[in-house]
Amino acid sequence: MAETTDVLPGATDDFADLIEPFSRRGVDLGLERLQAALADLGHPERRFAAIQVAGTNGKGSICTLLHQALLAAGLRAGLYTSPHLVSWTERIRPGAEPIAAASLRHHLQAAAAAAQRHGLTPFELVTAAAFLAFAEAGLDLVVLEVGLGGRLDATTCHPDRRVIGFASIGLDHAEFLGPDAASIAAEKAAVLQPGAWAVSGPQQPEVAAVLGAQARRMGARLEWVEPLDPSAWVLGLPGGVQQLNAAVALGMLRALRAQGWTIPEAAIRRGFAAARWPGRLQRIHRLGVPLLLDGAHNPPAAQRLRRELDQHGQRHGLGPGPRRWVLGMLANKQGVEILQALLGPGDRAWIVAVPGHASWTAAALQDACPAAGVGLEQAEDLSEAIRRAAAGGSGQPVLVAGSLYLIGHLLAASAPE
């Protein structure tokens, strides 16, 4: 997921008084500010070991698979991810559960003076608070999900990341990372440290070339893995792509084991089966309507979602024929490409604004791509869109996608039925 700090309307958030004062910085990549602040705080990042996951799509899934396996192995393991769906506490797990709100407030307050002194961004402030929490908890090992890019991401301030995983790398956040897949891959590959052990699944040829060149430059080992056999592994995360994410996680865990960590294969299997990650092929009910949620916020993720539905729709409660969508896409995203990837022949989509964000409209999408705009309608809000999409839908799940912010808003807006 990208480095981001926007608060979802309706979300549970008790920390605006501590985080919002730093929001004027927005996204401002760099390591020096946070490194200086961590020095002022006594270098909490030096008090626990870490592994790191970079990439475009699948980072969160790989991280939760890793975290669950480490916990199942009896290790005191933490997890740091971004963004959150409902609460800031979701980002920091100093153990099996998200950090308590009171504890997060305490660590944000502890980091505030150094954050002000060095002009941290909100993401850097929260990262500093996470490092303080992990150090205080006396953890053995923490799984760090890169926020945006890698080379200048706040998580890369951890000085010793000897095992690094790469999720699928594709086009996203070109305004920060570069105009093509090779440029983006270079920013992400730069997380590699001398002597690191890196694990990646198959990548586009230009991405694979960049990863290989950077590994050679840094004297790092780069291991390529293929998707796990679904008949041999039980995963708690739905979707065919998880076999690939799990293969990366497995390679990383075996690399840790080769470095002396005790992680039995049986514990890995228990952890993989226990893994859960909201907002990715998640089935819920709202307004009496069955929904299938997936964040799919860039073209590669949209392509994978469509492929999953075409190949395994029945697993997700979908029958054959046209589908009904509720889509919300940020205006700075590749809305037309996402739309073209998601919608099949005869599909209809109700377009909504992502609350609190500039968003694509149905009219703008129709103007940009008339052929894809035939089945589009604008809806005033999520509730209206869900009701209209469900009408005449034969009881099949309505698909909600296009933005994790949209999914977070939906999950925060009302309690599950």
The pLDDT tens digits of the residues spanning 5-41 come to 333 333 444 798 999 888 876 667 789 999 999 999 9
| Residue 8 domain-assigned (yes or no) | no
pLDDT, one tens digit per residue, over 337-358 is: 999 999 998 999 999 999 989 9
DSSP 8-state assignment for residue 289: E
> How far apart are the C-alpha atoms of 375 and 362, rounded to whole Å?
10
Is residue 185 within 8 A of residue 169, CB to CB? The reply is: yes
φ, ψ (nearest 5 deg) of residue 194: -55, 130
Domain boundary among 274, 290, 310: 274
Q: What is the pLDDT of residue 400?
A: 97
| Residue 7 domain-assigned (yes or no) | no
Same domain (yes/no): 78, 45: yes
| Residue 169 domain-assigned (yes or no) | yes
Is residue 188 within 8 A of residue 160, CB to CB? The reply is: no
| Residue 1 domain-assigned (yes or no) | no
| pLDDT bracket for residue 271 (50, 70, 90) | very high
Mean pLDDT of the chain: 91
Total Cβ atoms within 10 A of residue 4: 16
Range of the domain at 334: 280-413
Q: What is the pLDDT of residue 373?
A: 63
Instruction: List CB contacts of 242: < 8 A, sequence separation 6 or more.
Output: 61, 235
Same domain (yes/no): 99, 177: yes
Domain with residue 385: its CATH number is 3.90.190.20
From the CA atom positions of the chain, what is the Rg in Å? 21
Same domain (yes/no): 268, 285: no
Give the count of alpha carbons within 13 A of 172, CB side only: 23
Q: What is the pLDDT of residue 11?
A: 40
Q: What is the pLDDT of residue 179?
A: 64
Strand runs (DSSP E) across 108-220, as ranges? 141-145, 161-166, 197-200
Same domain (yes/no): 216, 71: yes
Domain with residue 241: its CATH number is 3.40.1190.10
Question: E strand or H helix at 129, and its extent?
Answer: helix 122-137
Mean pLDDT of all residues in 243-269: 98
Same domain (yes/no): 298, 267: no
Residue 336 pLDDT more than 50?
yes
Mean pLDDT of all residues in 99-115: 97
| Residue 133 domain-assigned (yes or no) | yes
Instruction: List CB contacts of 32: < 8 A, sequence separation 6 or more.
Output: none
Same domain (yes/no): 407, 268: no
Q: What is the pLDDT of residue 5?
A: 38
pLDDT, one tens digit per residue, over 190-205 is: 999 999 999 999 999 9
Higher per-residue pLDDT: 117 or 415: 117
How large a percentage of the chain has pLDDT more than 90?
81
Same domain (yes/no): 294, 267: no
Give the pair of three-digit tokens for residue 338: 């996402």
Same domain (yes/no): 285, 250: no
Same domain (yes/no): 146, 110: yes
Mean pLDDT of all residues in 142-148: 95
> How far apart are the C-alpha atoms of 278 and 267, rounded to whole Å?
22
DSSP 8-state assignment for residue 278: T
Same domain (yes/no): 245, 292: no
Give the count of alpha carbons within 13 A of 182, CB side only: 6
Q: What is the pLDDT of residue 375?
A: 86
- Residue type at 198 in one-letter notation: A
pLDDT, one tens digit per residue, over 315-332 is: 999 988 899 999 999 998
Q: What is the pLDDT of residue 175?
A: 61
Same domain (yes/no): 235, 100: yes
φ, ψ (nearest 5 deg) of residue 25: -75, -30
pLDDT, one tens digit per residue, over 364-396 is: 999 998 876 668 999 999 999 999 999 976 789
| Residue 391 domain-assigned (yes or no) | yes
Residue 408 pLDDT more than 60?
yes
- Residue type at 262 in one-letter notation: T
Give pTM, 2 decimals: 0.91
| Residue 57 domain-assigned (yes or no) | yes
Is residue 339 within 8 A of residue 365, CB to CB? The reply is: yes
Of 87, 59, 23, residue with least CA distance to 295: 59
**Sheet of 92-93, strand order:** 92-93, 77-80, 141-145, 49-54, 161-166, 197-200, 221-224
Residue 293 pLDDT more than 60?
yes
The residue to which tokens 């377009």 are assigned: 351
Same domain (yes/no): 397, 292: yes
**3-class secondary-structure state, position 209:** helix
> How far apart are the C-alpha atoms of 190 and 148, rounded to whole Å?
12
| Residue 194 domain-assigned (yes or no) | yes
Domain boundary among 274, 297, 320: 274
Give the pair of three-digit tokens for residue 39: 């020095």
Domain boundary among 253, 274, 295: 274
> How far apart are the C-alpha atoms of 89 and 82, rounded to whole Å?
10
Residue 148 pLDDT more than 90?
no
Task: Classify residue 207 by burial, with Cβ atoms within 10 Å: 0-12, 13-18, 19+.
Answer: buried
> How far apart are the C-alpha atoms of 399 and 389, rounded to whole Å?
9
Return the minimum-mean-pLDDT range out of 8-12, 217-221, 242-246, 276-280.
8-12
Give the pair of three-digit tokens for residue 375: 């089945």
Is residue 84 within 8 A of residue 4, CB to CB? The reply is: no
> How far apart are the C-alpha atoms of 224 and 174, rounded to whole Å?
26
Count of structural domains, the chain: 2
Question: E strand or H helix at 244, and its extent?
Answer: helix 242-258
> How far apart are the C-alpha atoms of 331 and 162, rounded to whole Å?
38
Residue 223 pLDDT more than 90?
yes
Give the pair of three-digit tokens for residue 243: 């076999």
Q: What is the pLDDT of residue 234?
A: 97
| pLDDT bracket for residue 106 (50, 70, 90) | very high
